[in-house]
Structure 1
Amino acid sequence: MNVLTEKQIRASFLNASRREASQAVLPDLDTVPWDRLDHLGWRDRRSPLSAYVVVELDGVPAGVLLRASPAPASGRRRSAMCSWCRDLASVGATLYVARRGGSAGRAGNTIGTLICEDFSCSRNVRRPPTSAESGNGIEAIADQVVAERIAGLRERSVQFVRDVAATC
């Protein structure tokens, strides 16, 4: 992912008002490992149910304001597979819902998906493949498995943002 500035991130939101975009609490951009990211995702420190994700859509940053599902009363979440990285991450996946862009969003239309709770998808797809995934572990096959995972993550995350931007 290309390095983004605060101004680029705030201007990228497709489903947030100017006020929501200006009040977003951004991560420390100087510590972001840009070269190992397929999307930038983070939870808002001030509002634990608010989250944000930014992907590159046709070479331009496109951001989405998300709402996380609240923790169940029991405090225990069910295990779920992330629909972006398709990994059963140790942190688990949670349902994130985004208001659609434009008039559809103003009418209350939303779209949701399961994403790693801490947005660790980029790290998950880069982990070494298991023997079940790559056979006897030939390095070229392992590299191909990781490359396919990265491509899938990018495709699914970008498609979600496209779906948010699409008006009904």
Structure 2
Amino acid sequence: MTRSIDYGNLMHRAMRGLIQNVLEDVAKNGLPGEHHFFITFDTNYPGVALADWLHQRYPDEMTVVLQHWFDQLDVTDEGFSVTLNFGSQPEPLVIPFDAVRTFVDPSVEFGLRFETREGEDDDEEDLADEPQNAGDDNGDDGGDEPPTPRAAEVVRLDRFRKT
């Protein structure tokens, strides 16, 4: 068996680390200048925690904005938690980094998009096609296998450009 460097996985981890570093700085120092973030995540990913009414409203994915008002931003190696205001109702969210699908800062035309990796063998493809269970209250999805990792790519943000 030939060993090779898995550049896709290395890039994936590096880009998740970039998001972690940015959010850690914001948690410590606040948002600088005009920076703000659109973060889209998979609401069914194991470890995601949000109010039932939000999950019913956003059964597959949700985009949150960190800009004018957010509270209790806490960043760990696995993900982040934050309290956001939904119609004058503060709600805490817990979002693992692996649940993030896009991370965009339109103020500087920066964005990352994470795609589900196509399985490298048939078993992985079959697992990727199955619906994901959000798991029980402690974030355990009951399976022995970790979720299929997502590949990452840098995207152009022309649609967010201010004119």
Fold match by TM threshold 0.5: no
Calculate the TM-score normalised by the size of structure 2: 0.28
TM norm structure 1: 0.28
The structure whose RCO (Cα within 8 Å, separation 6+) is larger is 2
